[in-house]
Amino acid sequence: MTAPAKPTYDDVLRIPAPPGRGAAAGRPLRIEEVAERAGVAPITVSRVLRHPEKVNRETRDRILEVIEATGYASNPHARALRSGRSNVVVAFVSNILSQQFGLAVRSFAATLEPEGFEVLVGQTSYSYAKEVAMIQSLRGIRPAAVMFTGVIELHENRAALAELGIPVIETWAFPRDPIDMLVGLSNTDAGAMAARRLADAGHRRVAFIGRSSGRGALRRDGFRAAAAELGLDVVHEIGVGEITGLVDGRAAFTALLDRGGRIDAVFCANDLLATGALIEARSRGLTVPRDLAVLGFGDNDVADQITPGLTTITFDSAAIGRIAGELLLARLSDTPSAEPRRAVELALVERGSV
């Protein structure tokens, strides 16, 4: 699927340059040249950039003017080499295509970039092996900090991360013992919330669909425990492997029906599964929620576009990124936050599928 016969050229709009304002020169400036122009020593320029308050106002203004005029940008490699600190922060995402993770990483980056950090995004693909490799590669990158959209389960990786000696932020769950900093949500509570909602709607015979490891398992456990307390009967639990699309939800729902027995409602550990289940249920002639209620988790983009809309448990994933960024800035500025373990709230979004 590469070279076609003969593609037509696109007549792409070209916006001309405004008069004046020459483009920046080819070879990057060194701090020395800026210093020369401003009539100071290089170190003074350096100070203006890192600790402006320690430089005389007039000197500073003069230097800033030169910096502005020349478009000088310091060489991050030289800076990192000499100072031992890099301005790169690595965010590891278990699935780069996820809306939720994307929102979190986006707000994480938006919080850090104004402070001069570059956020580099890596992907771990829900795989321990990949995680090991990525953490190894951190020894090379030497970032200022790392953030994960998840928590690290493998002991070896936890130890390796701790020994990097840089801030580590875990997210998306609320473990007792984070490696370092944490911005999470209680998946256990999410499961319990699901059970409570289904019980409130009068459903008695319920089922669970979700991954049987990681956060899916945590939601399942919370669901299971709360269901028991509420007198619900968890008829079946369908475990799924890697989730790649709605199709997995359809398959899981089919597997659920194949197991037999009456079911009033199903809690799916994420909205992709729930949407797939809902579509499959409808295509089998079931009316949702009359014949079967479906409850999701995560409030994906599709959740409110199907009929009936998917009732789901949600939280502010952008806030996770933002708070993670703020915790990190606090830590790096030597005024660390009192509580480096934050939780975001869960909320129910009612849309009619329960």
Partner DNA sequence: TTGTAGGCGTTATCAG
Partner DNA sequence: CTGATAACGCCTACAA
Helix (H), strand (E) at residue 182: strand 181-184
Give 245's DSSP letter: S
Choose the one of DNA, a copy of itself, none that binds residue 46, judging by a C-beta under 5 to 8 angstroms depending on kind.
Answer: DNA
Contact 153, 142 (CB under 8 A): no
Say whether residue 46 binds DNA (CB under 7 A).
yes
Beta carbon nearer to DNA, 45 or 246: 45
Q: CA-CA distance, 306 to 209, in Å (whole number)?
A: 19
Instruction: Tally the residues of the chain.
Output: 354
Q: Which amino acid, 156? A: E
> Is residue 322 exposed (0-12), middle (13-18) or buried (19+ Cβ within 10 Å)?
buried
When binding is defined by CB under 7 A, the residue of 61, 69, 71, 75 that contacts DNA is: 75
Q: CA-CA distance, 68 to 16, in Å (whole number)?
A: 23
When binding is defined by CB under 7 A, the residue of 36, 64, 74, 106 that contacts DNA is: 74
Task: Tell me which stretch binds DNA (CB under 7 A): 76-84, 127-135, 254-262, 335-343.
Answer: 76-84
Q: How far is the CB of 275 from a copy of itself (least distance, A)?
A: 8
Q: How far is the CB of 9 from a copy of itself (least distance, A)?
A: 5
* Contacts of residue 199, Cβ cutoff 8 Å, sequence gap at least 6: 227, 230, 231, 232
Contact 86, 145 (CB under 8 A): no
Q: How far is the CB of 167 from DNA (least distance, A)?
A: 18
When binding is defined by CB under 7 A, the residue of 24, 83, 162, 228 that contacts DNA is: 83
Beta carbon nearer to DNA, 53 or 177: 53
Return the SS3 of 118. strand
Say whether residue 139 binds DNA (CB under 7 A).
no
When binding is defined by CB under 7 A, the residue of 37, 44, 171, 226 that contacts DNA is: 44
Beta carbon nearer to a copy of itself, 191 or 289: 191
Q: How far is the CB of 137 from DNA (least distance, A)?
A: 14
Return the SS3 of 71. coil
Residues of this chain, 273-312, that bind DNA according to CB under 7 A: none
Which residues in this chain contact DNA in the complex, by CB under 7 A? 28, 30-32, 40-44, 46-47, 49-50, 54-56, 58-60, 74-75, 78-79, 81-84
